[in-house]
Amino acid sequence: MNLKELEQVQLGLAKKVVKKDVIQKLELVSGIETGFKFNKSFCCVVVCAYNDMQVLETHSMIEECELAYIPNFRAQRELDIMVKTYNKLKQKPDILLVNASGIMHPRSLGLASHLGVVLDIATIGITKKPLCGKVQGEVIILDDEVVGKQVFTKEKAKPLFVSIGHKLSLDKSVEIVKKCIKPPHKMPEPLHIAHRIVKKNMKYV
């Protein structure tokens, strides 16, 4: 597909994003992370108990990848390995935390939202800087809509930027992110662990 076709796919899927709370329970929370080195892609998904962040399950994958990074089109090279890694889980989480933007995206479909729609799971987008929009106080505004919030999770550290992924409101997303923080880590624990495993796997390539 060319970029115009990919844009149309994003615009179509963006209409399927649910921006309100529709989850029935919240017992398991997962974090998924990707990395790239040379011509290989890496992915790790970690499932934790929501009440105490105990790790219950992890899975990793490494695949050949010849696709280049294209700004605002991360799903083009990351979605496939993320779906494959997620599908290895025996314990499916109630929520998936993604190190990517959700609706804080030029076409309202960042990787966190794209993955949520494809997997039909509640997702939250978490980034270290806003992909787009204007920061106004604690919120990020794009086209007169609040698409994200700044969340401070570590003393003397820059904030995280949380956006709706799928099937959760922004306020609920922020609440969940805060609950998943385990000091002294800045990122939510499932994402912190997934990131650490990906980096470790990349060292051996």
- Better pLDDT: 109 or 70: 109
Q: How confident is the model at residue 205 (pLDDT cuts 50, 70, 90)?
A: confident
Helices marked H in 59-187 — which ranges?
75-86, 111-119, 170-179
In tens, the pLDDT along 134-166 reads 999 999 999 999 999 999 999 889 999 999 999
DSSP conformation class of 100: S
CA distances from residue 163 to 115, 133, 151, 155, 186 in whole angstroms, order as listed: 14, 12, 10, 21, 17
- Spell out the residues 6+ positions from residue 142 whose beta carbon is closer than 8 angstroms to its own: 104, 132, 133, 134
* Tokens (6 digits) for 149: 């919030």
What's the CA gap between 130 and 107, in Å, rounded? 14
Is 59 a residue whose pLDDT tops 70? yes
My answer on whether omega of the bond before 184 falls inside 30° of 0, hence cis, is yes
Q: What is the CATH number of the domain that holds 41?
A: 3.30.2170.10
Task: Return the H-helix or E-strand segment holding 4.
Answer: helix 3-14
Residues in the chain: 205
Q: What value does the mean pLDDT take over residues 168-181?
A: 98
Residue type, 85: T
Is 67 a residue whose pLDDT tops 90? no
**CA nearest 205: which of 34, 33, 40, 32?**
40
Is 183 a residue whose pLDDT tops 80? yes
Q: What value does the mean pLDDT take over residues 50-78?
A: 94
Is 102 a residue whose pLDDT tops 70? yes
| The pLDDT of residue 3 | 86
Is 1 a residue whose pLDDT tops 70? no
Number of independent structural domains in the chain: 1
CA count, 13 A, side-chain hemisphere, 102: 32
Q: How confident is the model at residue 23 (pLDDT cuts 50, 70, 90)?
A: very high
Burial of 42 (0-12, 13-18, 19+ CB in 10 A): buried
Q: What is the pTM of this model?
A: 0.96
What's the CA gap between 118 and 28, in Å, rounded? 19
Structural domain for 43, as ranges: 3-203
DSSP conformation class of 51: T
Q: What value does the mean pLDDT take over residues 28-53?
A: 97
* Tokens (6 digits) for 86: 């997620």
Distance of CA 96 to the CA centre of its chain: 7
Q: What is the mean pLDDT of the chain?
A: 96
DSSP 3-state assignment of 155?
coil
